[in-house]
Amino acid sequence: MKLTTEKQFEALFKENWQQMYLAGYTRLPDHQIVEDMIQEIFIDIWKRREEIHFDKDPKIYLLTAVKYQVLKHLDRSISFASLTDNSECGQISEEADILSLDEVFEKIEVAVDKLSQRSAEIFKLSKFEGKSVDEIAQGLQISPQTVHNSLSSSLKILRRELGSLGAVLIFCLS
């Protein structure tokens, strides 16, 4: 899907802003900052509307963008002194800064595609759609423990697939 008209862009915004807001506010409980992040995401999408193609569900892209923006905000909020105490965190931050949002999303999407169909479904429901373990278990008619086990093994696989970005992913999605 490509955004070619203002009407399509407006529909994308109207369909997704509330879920984006909830995802951001869950991780960063500051109304103004989360609203600003969502605005920045949509400004960026509008500016790059000719380049961006949503091959899959745009909701996944948008929620990933929110999580990445939260991470960037938190990274900026951490003092430089605390970063120098943890060289691995500094390395992750540098790599995340070098990659564009599209590249991060693409890497995550490729890694999630390597999961089994059921694990990917559980992972997306939990991390991209923000559903609780109980909601997923009930919806898929499986036990909550099965959901926990699937999420745990999925995160291990994603950490391995994404290398140092795996730590960023775990931080953003927890």
Residues 1-23 pLDDT 10s: 677 788 988 999 999 999 999 98
Across residues 161-169, what is the average pLDDT?
64
One-letter amino acid identity for 141? Q
Nearest-CA neighbor of 67 among 37, 94, 97?
37
Which pLDDT belongs to residue 168?
Answer: 57
Q: Express the helix, strand and coil content of the chain in percent, nearest 5 each.
A: 80, 0, 20
What Cα–Cα distance (Å) separates residue 85 from each residue in 29, 75, 91, 169, 171? 27, 14, 12, 21, 18
Higher pLDDT, 25 or 168: 25
Residue 39 CB: number of other CB atoms within 10 A? 12
Terminal Cα-to-Cα distance of the chain (whole angstroms): 29
Q: Please state the rounded mean pLDDT for residues 116-138.
A: 87
pLDDT for res 129:
76
Residue whose structure tokens are 């929620």: 63
For the residues 27-38, what does the mean pLDDT come to? 89
Q: Which CATH architecture has domain 1-77?
A: Orthogonal Bundle (1.10)
Q: What is the pLDDT, as a whole number, of residue 94?
A: 46
pLDDT per position as a tens digit, 94-115:
444 445 666 667 777 788 888 8
Whole-angstrom CA distances from 64 to 2, 47, 125, 145, 161 are 18, 18, 13, 26, 17
- Residue ranges of domains in the chain: 1-77, 107-174
Mean pLDDT of the 15-44 span: 90
- Under CATH, what is the fold of the domain 107-174? Arc Repressor Mutant, subunit A (1.10.10)
Higher-scoring residue by pLDDT: 82, 172: 172
Look at residue 91 in the predicted model and tell me its pLDDT: 45
Reported confidence tier of residue 125, pLDDT bands at 50, 70, 90 = confident
List phi, psi (to 5°) of 57: -60, 120
Tell me the average pLDDT of the chain: 78
